[in-house]
């Protein structure tokens, strides 16, 4: 209404006290004002961090990522209100949070320069609280060690190539841990010393 009033203030003084004229003038102005408000809101509606539902679907179409996965997510057990565990079969149709995650991942994949430092930077953008270590086996395979993912669906998305890019023709082996990996004499995000690091044997 503030924009409409700005134009109404331009009406000459001899017509300012004519309510019918002012009403006649306000009608089309209010329609244009609604259009202007909507146009100014487009950016926020299609901001990835704030978009929901159909808005995210449109962003996904532009980026080239579907809300419906190409695989069936892994079933898992959950506790009911009575405390009795029951098996949950997740839907392959993602909720907004997971869909937003793979949209962001796809954008980063499209801008990946093929280097490991860039891959780690990409990972930290998507999962700032989880950690990843990539080992190039020099035989067209690579090992990806992951710790700190909070849900099975996140692991499924990783394993099925929705999160990090896979070089063409390279096979990827994924290993998931809940804690940083044990490493003698090293104290970093991914590796911790005795008493803090996670002991594991990988075959």
Regarding predicted confidence, which is higher, 63 or 44? Answer: 63
Mean pLDDT of 171-178: 85
Q: Which of 3-17, 25-39, 93-107 is modeled with the greatest confidence?
A: 93-107
Q: Quick one: 140 and 185 in the same domain?
A: yes
In our burial notation (b when 16+ CB lie closer than 10 A, e otherwise), range 180-191 reads bbbeeeeeeebb
Q: Quick one: 139 and 73 in the same domain?
A: yes
Please report whether residue 201 resides in a domain.
no
Give the whole-number percent of the chain exceeding pLDDT 90. 41
**Span of 24-28, 106-110, 127-131, 168-172 with lowest mean pLDDT:** 24-28
Q: What is the pLDDT of residue 126?
A: 93
Please report whether residue 151 resides in a domain.
yes
Token code pair at residue 158: 């990783």
Give the mean pLDDT of the chain: 82
Q: Quick one: 23 and 78 in the same domain?
A: no
Q: Quick one: 40 and 71 in the same domain?
A: no
Q: What is the pLDDT of residue 198?
A: 47
Regarding predicted confidence, which is higher, 122 or 41? Answer: 122
Range of the domain at 96: 60-192
Instruction: Please give the Cα distance from 194 to 39 (Å, whole number).
Output: 58
Q: What is the pLDDT of residue 185?
A: 57
Q: What's the whole-model pTM score?
A: 0.69
Per the structure, how many domains does the chain have? 2
Of 153, 144, 40, nearest to 95 by C-alpha is 153
Mean pLDDT of 35-43: 77
Q: Quick one: 83 and 125 in the same domain?
A: yes
Q: What is the pLDDT of residue 63?
A: 94
Please report whether residue 119 resides in a domain.
yes
Q: Quick one: 164 and 104 in the same domain?
A: yes
Q: Quick one: 86 and 114 in the same domain?
A: yes
Q: Quick one: 23 and 101 in the same domain?
A: no
Q: Quick one: 87 and 124 in the same domain?
A: yes
């Amino acid at each position: 209404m503030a924009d409409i009033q700005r134009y109404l203030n331009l009406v000459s003084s001899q017509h300012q006290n004519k309510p019918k004229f002012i009403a006649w003038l306000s009608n089309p102005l209010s329609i244009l004002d609604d259009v202007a408000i909507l146009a100014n809101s487009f950016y926020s509606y299609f901001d990835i961090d704030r978009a929901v539902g159909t808005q995210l679907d449109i962003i996904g179409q532009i980026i080239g990522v579907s809300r419906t996965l190409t695989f069936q997510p892994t079933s898992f057990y959950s506790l009911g209100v009575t405390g009795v565990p029951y098996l949950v079969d997740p839907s392959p149709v993602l909720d907004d949070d997971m869909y937003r995650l793979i949209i962001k991942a796809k954008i980063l994949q499209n801008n990946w320069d093929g280097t490991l430092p860039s891959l780690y930077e990409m990972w930290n953008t998507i999962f700032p609280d989880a950690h990843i270590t990539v080992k190039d086996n020099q035989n067209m395979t690579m090992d990806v060690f992951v710790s700190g993912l909070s849900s099975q669906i996140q692991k499924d998305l990783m394993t099925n190539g929705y999160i990090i890019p896979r070089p063409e023709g390279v096979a990827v082996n994924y290993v998931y841990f809940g804690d940083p990996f044990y490493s003698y004499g090293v104290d970093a995000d991914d590796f911790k010393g005795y008493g803090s690091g996670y002991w594991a044997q990988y075959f």
